[in-house]
């Protein structure tokens, strides 16, 4: 029998140890893998279900992280093994007869289950250590018979059918990604991030207003009347209310931090520059807010001025050939200058936006997205990334990504010795 204390305990080795047990098995961990569950079910047939103790943290998160599978817990429940619930449990214990292992459970979201004695994740327990652990877990039966008895330190409640069914349904509704896919994506997560950056509503000097042709009393054939509109600049193109200065400053930020990967993948940035980028954007947002406050009153004045200019130029045409809408609102048979002006100003005010509404639309929109497995596998993506950031040494993430893909394809085998007994 080996006396090694630090060992590698992956699920395959645990299953072998369980199969060799002769009188008791205690398994406590966040979750359980399928091979371990099958070994526990077989041990229950061989030793009796009362010889098997299982404690897990059965919830959606532990399954998504890859500590175990809901399907494996279902195998245990279907075999009439008592499975106890221990919320938040994040360490592992396996006792087979008089030998035990305290192990660090592997989250498959983070890494593959490749532990061996050369890369240990467990410590072998013997003698008093094993019995001490077994005793605090075995208190469950005593506490159930006598409420005054101390409760077990982990797994004080049986896992109910309702709890397991809820987890199964949540995972069925929103299935987790395969863990090998998630690990491939994680290779690149520390390096790059997609960024969609837009300045909205600040180009007021470029906005135009559609004025229906009939409002200005510009005659057209009946066939074309519904299609004709007069496009009018909202404010003077040379107005000092323009947001061009803000746009130029944002273009500088884009140039410093963002790189384009073309129309397919848009803009990306290095995650290492994220903190600096966020500080720049926060300062820029303050400038956008200051611009909003400074121009609100002036903008409404500019809009009113534009309306006045149109009224001055077109009121005579309106008065000469008034629409029925205008005639229905005056006492006389022909509109006066004041009637024509007020009616035209009212109609134009319906076409022109209010300054307050325009100001509210001014904003800086920045959306971050992480790289996906599908994108990493798209032809040309990695080459575009190298071209966009030629000063970055991309060999390391490329090698890790390719190694992850090879492992997914089954071209790399895990190594590990048999169980310690």
Residues 73 and 163 in one domain: yes
The secondary element (H helix, E strand) that includes residue 230 is strand 229-233
Q: Say if residue 108 is in the same domain as residue 169.
A: yes
Which CATH number fits the domain that encloses residue 35? 3.30.870.10
406 in a structural domain: no
Query: What was the pLDDT predicted at 310?
Result: 83
Kindly state the DSSP code that residue 155 receives in the 8-state scheme. -
Domain membership flag for residue 134: yes
Domain-embedded: residue 421:
no
Overall average pLDDT of the 181-202 stretch: 79
Residues 169 and 199 occupy one common structural domain: no
pLDDT in tens, 107-134: 887 777 776 778 899 999 988 999 999 9
Tell me what pLDDT residue 413 has. 38
Q: Are 121 and 42 in contact (CB under 8 A)?
A: no
Q: For residue 54, what pLDDT is reported? A: 96
Sheet holding 259-260, edge to edge: 259-260, 267-270, 192-200, 363-369
Helix (H, G, I), strand (E, B) or coil at 368: strand
Does residue 365 register a pLDDT over 50? yes
Asked whether the predicted pLDDT for residue 281 surpasses 90, the reply is: yes
Q: Are residues 253 and 230 in the same domain?
A: yes
Q: How confident is the model at residue 221, as a pLDDT? A: 41
User: For the residues 25-51, what does the mean pLDDT come to?
Assistant: 95
Q: What is the pTM of this model?
A: 0.58
Listed residues 152, 177, 202: the one ending a domain: 177
pLDDT over threshold 90, residue 24:
yes
Sign, CA dihedral 177-180-183-187, equals negative
Comparison of pLDDT for 281 and 240, the residue scoring more: 281
The pLDDT > 70 percentage for the chain reads: 80
Statement to judge: residues 209 and 165 lie in one domain: no
* Cα→Cα distances 201→231, 252, 331, 356, 376, Å: 19, 19, 43, 12, 34
In this structure, is residue 409 part of a structural domain?
Answer: no
User: What does the mean pLDDT of the chain come to?
Assistant: 81
Consecutive H or E run containing 350: helix 337-351
Residues 80 and 21 in one domain: yes
For residue 197, how many other CB atoms are within 10 A of its CB? Answer: 19
Domain, as residue range, for 317: 192-391
Write down the pLDDT at residue 419: 44
Whether 242 and 357 map to the same domain: the answer is: yes
What's the domain count of the chain? 2
Bridge partners (DSSP) of residue 310 are none
Identify whether 403 is part of a domain.
no
Residue 326 shares a structural domain with residue 203: yes
pLDDT in tens, 320-329: 878 777 777 8
Q: Which of 145, 177, 209 is the last residue of a domain?
A: 177
Half-sphere exposure of 45 (CA within 13 A, CB side): 9
Q: Is there a single domain that holds both residue 121 and residue 201? A: no
**Cα(408)–Cα(180) distance, integer angstroms:** 6
Dist CA 261 CA 267 (whole Å): 6
Whether 339 shows a pLDDT value over 80: the answer reads yes
| Same domain, yes or no: 219 and 357 | yes
Does a structural domain hold residue 147? yes
Beta pairing partners, 25? 52, 96
Quick check: is 260 in a domain? yes
pLDDT, tens only, 193-242: 899 998 887 666 566 677 766 666 655 444 444 444 556 666 565 566 66
CA 136, 140, 145, 150 dihedral sign is positive
Answer yes or no: do 65 and 102 share one domain: yes
Evaluate whether residue 396 is within a structural domain.
Answer: no
Q: What letter would DSSP give residue 51?
A: G
Task: Check residue 176 and report its DSSP letter.
Answer: P
Query: Distance between CA atoms of 82 and 96, rounded to whole angstroms?
Result: 17
Q: What is the pLDDT of residue 245?
A: 82
Ramachandran area for residue 185 (φ above 0: left; ψ -120 to 50: alpha; else beta): alpha
The residue with greater pLDDT, 1 or 82, is: 82
Kindly compute the dihedral angle of the four CA atoms of residues 383, 389, 391, 392, in this order, to the nearest 10 degrees: -80
Confidence bin at 153 (pLDDT 50/70/90):
confident
Angle at 44 between CA 43 and CA 48, to 5 degrees: 120
Is 228 found in the same domain as 169? Answer: no
């Amino acid at each position: 029998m080996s006396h090694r204390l630090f060992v590698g305990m992956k699920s395959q080795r645990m299953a072998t140890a369980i199969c060799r047990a002769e009188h008791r098995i205690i398994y406590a961990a966040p979750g359980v893998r399928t091979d371990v569950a099958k070994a526990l079910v077989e041990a229950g047939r061989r030793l009796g279900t009362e010889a098997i103790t299982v404690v897990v943290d059965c919830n959606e998160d532990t399954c998504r992280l890859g500590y175990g599978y809901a399907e494996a817990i279902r195998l245990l429940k279907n075999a009439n093994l008592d499975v106890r619930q221990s919320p938040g449990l994040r360490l592992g214990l396996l006792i087979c007869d008089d030998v035990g292992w305290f192990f660090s459970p592997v989250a498959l979201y983070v890494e593959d289950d490749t532990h061996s004695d050369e890369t240990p994740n467990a410590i072998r327990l013997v003698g008093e250590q094993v019995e001490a652990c077994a005793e605090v877990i075995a208190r469950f039966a005593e506490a159930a018979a006598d409420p005054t008895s101390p409760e077990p330190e982990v797994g004080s409640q049986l896992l109910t059918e309702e709890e397991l069914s809820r987890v199964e349904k949540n995972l069925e509704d929103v299935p987790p990604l395969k863990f090998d896919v998630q690990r491939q994506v994680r290779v690149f997560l520390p390096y790059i991030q997609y960024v969609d950056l837009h300045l909205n509503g600040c180009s007021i000097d470029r906005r135009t207003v559609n004025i229906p042709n009939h409002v200005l009393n510009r005659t057209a054939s009946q066939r074309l009347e519904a299609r004709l509109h007069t496009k009018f600049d909202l404010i003077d193109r040379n107005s000092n209310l323009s947001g061009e200065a803000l746009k130029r400053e944002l273009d500088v930020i884009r140039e410093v931090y963002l790189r384009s990967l073309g129309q397919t993948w848009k803009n990306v940035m290095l995650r290492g520059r994220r903190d600096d980028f966020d500080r720049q954007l926060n300062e820029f947002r303050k400038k956008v807010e200051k611009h909003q406050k400074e121009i609100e009153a002036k903008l409404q004045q500019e809009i009113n001025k534009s309306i006045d200019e149109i009224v001055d130029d077109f009121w005579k045409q309106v008065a000469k050939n008034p629409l029925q809408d205008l005639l229905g609102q005056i006492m006389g048979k022909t509109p006066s200058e004041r009637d024509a002006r007020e009616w035209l100003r009212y109609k134009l005010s319906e076409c022109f936006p209010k300054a307050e509404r325009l100001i509210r639309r001014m904003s800086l929109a920045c959306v971050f997205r992480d790289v996906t497995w599908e994108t990493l596998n798209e032809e040309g993506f990695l080459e575009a990334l190298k071209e966009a950031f030629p000063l970055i040494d991309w060999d390391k993430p490329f090698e890790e990504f390719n190694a992850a893909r090879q492992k997914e394809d089954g071209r790399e085998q895990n190594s590990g010795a048999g169980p310690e007994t």
